[in-house]
Structure 1
Amino acid sequence: MFVDKNESWILQEDNDPKHRSKLCRAWKEEAGVVTLDWPTQSPDANPIENVWAFVKLKLRGRKVHTLKQLCLQIRGIWRSLPREYAEKLVESMPSRCQAIIDSGVDRTKY
């Protein structure tokens, strides 16, 4: 999404095992994707947690009876996220990283 704006971008992802799998690591290496070393268990500093909180908020009160309905609802909410929202989360990364450095711990105000 943001490659057009900045050719030298770095991927930030959590330390979930699927992101560290041989297949995933090989794909990222082949694609030239550079990843940011990131502390484990730091949900406050992970912008995707803000997105999931937003999705949960939007799901509240909706009638969902099956897994298929839930998936459709989540996809719809995800696709309706404003581009500006995603950009704001990405632009907050320098502040998030600095907050981690300043606090010396994994949890921050985010």
Structure 2
Amino acid sequence: MVFQQDNDPEHTSRVVKNWLDKQCVKRSIWPPFSPDMSPIGHLWDELERRMKKHQPKNQKELRETLQAEWETIGQDVTNKLVESAPNRLYECIRMKGYSTRY
């Protein structure tokens, strides 16, 4: 198994690196300027787009709305995101880690 993390300072801090090293966790190299290559990042974007049509009035309503919208994201969406991973990675390599169309 290889652990993949972005370059967020919380993920790349010395404390995190030391812990991962002590646990013998292999990590992939993440280009410093790359867009999010993980399918879950794009799934969060999908949820955010779906939430724009709602105006929850409180935390309870927000939680319920988020959960309801999350449950409507179909397998077709997740399959598309996973299947697009090779193209996204190819684009990232082609752009040398800079922004891509994804």
Normalising by structure 1, we get a TM-score of: 0.61
Q: Is the 8 A contact 1:55 1:78 kept in 2?
A: yes
Are positions 1:36 and 2:28 aligned together? yes
Are positions 1:98 and 2:95 aligned together? no
Are positions 1:66 and 2:63 aligned together? no
Equivalent position of 2:46 in the other structure: 54
Once the two structures are TM-superposed, the CA of residue 64 in structure 1 deviates from its matched residue by 0.5
**RMSD, aligned α-carbons:** 3.2
What secondary structure does 1:96 align onto?
Answer: helix
The 5-angstrom pairing of residues 76-91 of structure 1 reads: 76-91=68-83
Mapped to 1, the partners of 2:77 and 2:46 lie a distance apart of: 11
Are positions 1:107 and 2:99 aligned together? yes
- The 1:35–1:77 alpha-carbon spacing in structure 2 relative to 1, beyond 3 Å, is farther
User: Which one scores higher on RCO, CA 8 angstroms, separation ≥ 6?
Assistant: 2
Mapped to 2, the partners of 1:67 and 1:89 lie a distance apart of: 29
Q: Which has the larger radius of gyration?
A: 2
Provide structure 1 residue ranges, at least 5 long, that are not aligned to the other structure.
1-8
Q: Is the 8 A contact 2:33 2:97 kept in 1?
A: no
Q: Which amino acid aligns with 1:107?
A: S
Aligned length: 101
Mapped to 2, the partners of 1:33 and 1:41 lie a distance apart of: 23
Mapped to 1, the partners of 2:49 and 2:89 lie a distance apart of: 26
Mapped to 1, the partners of 2:64 and 2:81 lie a distance apart of: 24
Provide structure 2 residue ranges, at least 5 long, that are not aligned to the other structure.
none
Q: Which amino acid aligns with 2:59?
A: L
Once the two structures are TM-superposed, the CA of residue 36 in structure 1 deviates from its matched residue by 3.3
